[in-house]
Chain A
Amino acid sequence: EPEVTQTPSHQVTQMGQEVILRCVPISNHLYFYWYRQILGQKVEFLVSFYNNEISEKSEIFDDQFSVERPDGSNFTLKIRSTKLEDSAMYFCASSPGQGNTEAFFGQGTRLTVV
């Protein structure tokens, strides 16, 4: 069964460093998303991506964040200068269509900023 894969599963980084989280969405999906979940809190939307551009983003997704689809398979989230409060699980998701279709989530990358 096709699945969304994320690497690495766990990343530890020093405050102020840049990190890149990687995702391979399901191959025939058109919509890609990044969500994050701070420990003990709810899953929060960061950004959605369609047709090689950002379609929606939340207030959390500020200038320190960027997304890219560098080739036909990968989808990345870059955090430019990490802060302690960026520590969270980051989930990539993809869906075949917009809106009322299910989203398929990856297993997440646990980012720890020290």
Chain B
Amino acid sequence: SQTIHQWPATLVQPVGSPLSLECTVEGTSNPNLYWYRQAAGRGLQLLFYSVGIGQISSEVPQNLSASRPQDRQFILSSKKLLLSDSGFYLCAWSVLNEQYFGPGTRLTVT
């Protein structure tokens, strides 16, 4: 069966520090991969998606970037965090018409 991992679960970082969130998927090949950000109790905002290794589409101009160095690995990064980068970050993979989410990372920028 397929499994998606995200780490860390929680992160507190100072303004101006770098960021690296990692997501890996097991049990499937060549998945579409996604990074979302969610404000408290609200819907999800699509940040990046990838349909293959090295292929990244950005949805929202921002302080973040994404990379897909391996088929089942998706990384969200920032060189310098802003206060507005705080939020709940979710990684997901999809097949056909269905998306499956990781457990999420709660990022607090102080």
Q: Do A and B bind each other?
A: no
Name B residues whose Cβ lies closer than 8 Å to a Cβ of A. none
Name A residues whose Cβ lies closer than 8 Å to a Cβ of B. none
